[in-house]
Amino acid sequence: MKSNMKTIRSIPQMQKLARAMTAQNMTIALVPTMGFLHDGHLSLIRRARKLADVVVTSVFVNPIQFGPKDDFKAYPRNEKKDIKAIASAGGDIVFVPRAELVYPVDFQTFVTVEKITATLEGEFRPTHFIGVTTVVAKLFNVVRPDLAVFGMKDYQQVMVIQQMISDLNYPIKLIVAPTVREKDGLAMSSRNSYFTPRQRPKAICLYAALKQARAMVLRDGVDKPAVLKRKMTQVILSICPTAQIDYIAFTDFDSLQPVKRITRNTICSLAVRVHGVRLIDNMKLS
């Protein structure tokens, strides 16, 4: 099977192509990724495929969204495999810019979303979201998509990008696709590749805790975040005694504000280090 997919490495070339496609009144969907694609990413591409004339998938491990202690250097990469996978999922264009052209020596412009980046991931990774919003603003300007597809696993990221789109008036519709999970419930993530086969089963502790919380809400009518949090902590540590919990948070699904009582609109998010690998996950409690 031959693919007509284009791989573009030049920013001006991508800009020209985007301009030409818009001038032909074609709609463009952008799927921004950091590569090392899994089925979660591919579900985003398939979703984009249904919604736009052209699907552009960017593959770029964005250095500025990693903190100094984060895993930028170790982050897994496999460009050849990624390009094949994107083609098979129906991608039209893969945009793979080079880091030194994305961030030239004199780079000094940043996009900052303030309030909603102060909690959860933003609290534990203080420069993370500035890196995310800056690179996504750049990708938006280069690719000029009509819609952009992000995954629900990075729930706070979705909220932050939506805030940026609204505040900066990007004429872009944000599409959020559900988290894709492994058979045992682990949310797919490129970082799952860090686990040894012995460690890997422990990684389900996040999903197990979320399921437990949801069951307690739906079955037993528990509505106190503190009660759920205590039980979730027990579940996590019973599966992985060495796990380090960064946070377990109960927030309003639309505003990301912490809630005092669980409602049908509450989402539970958590971040846990399992054998040194930082995992995040979330679930609506209804």
Q: Which residues bind a copy of itself (CB under 8 A)?
A: 11, 15, 18-19, 22-25, 104, 106-116, 133-134, 137-138, 141-142, 144, 163-164, 166-171
Catalytic residue check, 41: yes
Residue of 38, 41, 128, 275 marked active site: 41
The smaller minimum CB distance to a copy of itself, of residues 174 and 245, is found at: 174
The pair of three-digit structure tokens given for residue 110, joined into one six-digit string: 């940043």
CB of 265 to a copy of itself, least distance (A): 18
Give the residue among 232, 233, 225 at the shortest CA–CA distance from 263: 225
Q: From the CB of residue 59, how many other CB atoms can be counted at a distance below 10 Å?
A: 23
The smaller minimum CB distance to a copy of itself, of residues 109 and 196, is found at: 109
CB of 105 to a copy of itself, least distance (A): 11
The smaller minimum CB distance to a copy of itself, of residues 118 and 215, is found at: 118
How far does Cα 135 stand from its chain's mean position? 13
CB of 73 to a copy of itself, least distance (A): 24
The smaller minimum CB distance to a copy of itself, of residues 10 and 233, is found at: 10
Q: What angle do CA 128, 134, 135 make, to 5 degrees?
A: 95
CB of 129 to a copy of itself, least distance (A): 11
What's the CA gap between 152 and 211, in Å, rounded?
A: 16
The pair of three-digit structure tokens given for residue 7, joined into one six-digit string: 């791989």
Query: Which residues partner with 270 through β-bridges?
Result: 248, 281
Q: From the CB of residue 78, how many other CB atoms can be counted at a distance below 10 Å?
A: 15
Tell me which residues are annotated as active site: 41
